[in-house]
Amino acid sequence: MNRKLYIDASYYKEGITGLSRFSDELIDQMMIMKEDKKLVLFCFKNQVVNVENNLEIIRINLSISVFTYLTLFFPFVSRWILKKTFGNSGIIHYHDSIRFPGDIKGFEAVVTIHDIASLVFPQFYVWRAKILKKNGLKRLLKSKAKIIAVSNTTKKDLENLSKGFIGRIDVIGEGVNPNFFIQSSQKFNFSDLIPKEYFLVVGSPHSRKNYKNIYSAFKKFKESSASNYKLVFVGRAVDRYFKENNIFTENFILFKENVSDDDLKSLYYNAFAYVNFSLHEGFGLTILEAMANKCLVIGSITTSVGENIGKEGIVASPLNIHEMADSFAYSVCLNEEKRNKLINEAYQKVLKMNWEVIVTKYYQLFKSIDNG
């Protein structure tokens, strides 16, 4: 590439959100694949970004908090700072629209949009999140930036939001880290908590994750069957979320927090099925992780969850508790041949969804801009 490529590392190695995991995988794979020294990470000075590489890192010096920077001084100060820091030309990739300040003279921009959940389900979000998302998308709509959506669902959401997005969006999905694929029948030492037969839910609690309906549907399934299956929730503060929302948990509900990646792989592999009945997802990386660990997947027929599950899993409406309960029952009734067929087909599908392929598509876009 002739121009420098600046990658926003604001979420890199945060280790908290799906956006952070996307940032980790994208940047790590780009560092592996980079063909020259034109790749530059940039971040705010009060953020810690460490890389085991001679990669250039630009830290933007701010004497105010990042949030204040985003709300009070954005976008005019941001454009001035980035222009002063980067020079006269380059290509900038932003991991979301919130930090996108609009067009900067001499620079081309690429913005990845993961979801617009705060606008699709505003009742689940605080005012700050909605304003930041709405303002970011307004700037994006007025700009000449290239837009990437991580799923067809996100693309459709953007086009439904404004006709101005139609024809401007490329879809490039996400992938699974090769290290996350199951290598063997891994076992884990959770005998004090994890039963032999369990359905698994993974993710931090949020209203759009639909945990109340998942609980109600699983309870209905238990009432109509004589099974010993448990429902295991893995994620930060899930136990507290249930208590704060007055969801009475019976002895078939179990919680686990702070698991390592190796333990999570084992939890997927040893589960009877992975469950994701989210009301809205931009992509749904945990679905691919479950498939990579040869776990049957049950989930929403809507949003990107259904898009990723496809024909290789079991789907139902996340708003219909009866349908959800029936999906649990159907999974139990599957014969071994049908069950293994779904699991193996899902595994073969996700093998093709790796980060090398994803980053190659990003580089192709960056190079087309550079040559254009």
34 and 130 belong to one structural domain: yes
* Sheet bearing 253-256, strands edge to edge: 253-256, 230-234, 198-202, 273-276, 297-300, 314-316
122 and 194 belong to one structural domain: no
Residue 37 is predicted with a pLDDT of 62
297: enclosing H helix or E strand = strand 297-300
CA-CA distance, 3 to 89, in Å (whole number)?
7
**Average pLDDT value over all residues in the chain:** 86
Q: Are 306 and 315 in contact (CB under 8 A)?
A: yes
15 and 122 belong to one structural domain: yes
pTM for the whole structure: 0.88
261 and 344 belong to one structural domain: yes
58 and 10 belong to one structural domain: yes
240 and 121 belong to one structural domain: no
Amino acid at 301: I
232 and 188 belong to one structural domain: yes
Contacts of 221 (CB under 8 A, 6+ apart): 325, 328, 329
Produce one character per residue of 169-180: b if its CB has 16 or more CB atoms within 10 Å, e if not.
beebbbbbbeeb
Residue 187 is predicted with a pLDDT of 56
List the CATH number of the domain containing 301: 3.40.50.2000
What is the pLDDT confidence band of residue 266, given thresholds at 50, 70 and 90? Answer: confident
Residue 191 is predicted with a pLDDT of 45
Q: Per residue in 59-93, pLDDT tens?
A: 776 555 666 666 667 788 888 888 888 888 999 99
Residue 54 is predicted with a pLDDT of 56
Residue 190 is predicted with a pLDDT of 53
What is the pLDDT confidence band of residue 16, given thresholds at 50, 70 and 90? Answer: low
85 and 226 belong to one structural domain: no
362 and 332 belong to one structural domain: no
Residue 294 is predicted with a pLDDT of 94
Q: How many domains does the chain have?
A: 2
367 and 304 belong to one structural domain: no
287 and 141 belong to one structural domain: no
Residue 81 is predicted with a pLDDT of 85
> What's the domain range around 215?
178-351
Amino acid at 117: A
Q: What is the dihedral of CA 21, 25, 27, 30, to 10 degrees?
A: -170
Q: Per residue in 284-316, pLDDT tens?
A: 889 999 999 999 999 999 999 999 999 999 999
Q: Between residues 182 and 146, which one has the greater pLDDT?
A: 146
Q: Per residue in 106-158, pLDDT tens?
A: 999 999 999 999 999 999 899 888 998 999 999 999 999 999 999 999 999 99
Residue 206 is predicted with a pLDDT of 85
Residue 52 is predicted with a pLDDT of 53
Question: Could you tell me which of 326, 332, 331, 280 has the C-alpha nearest to residue 306?
Answer: 280
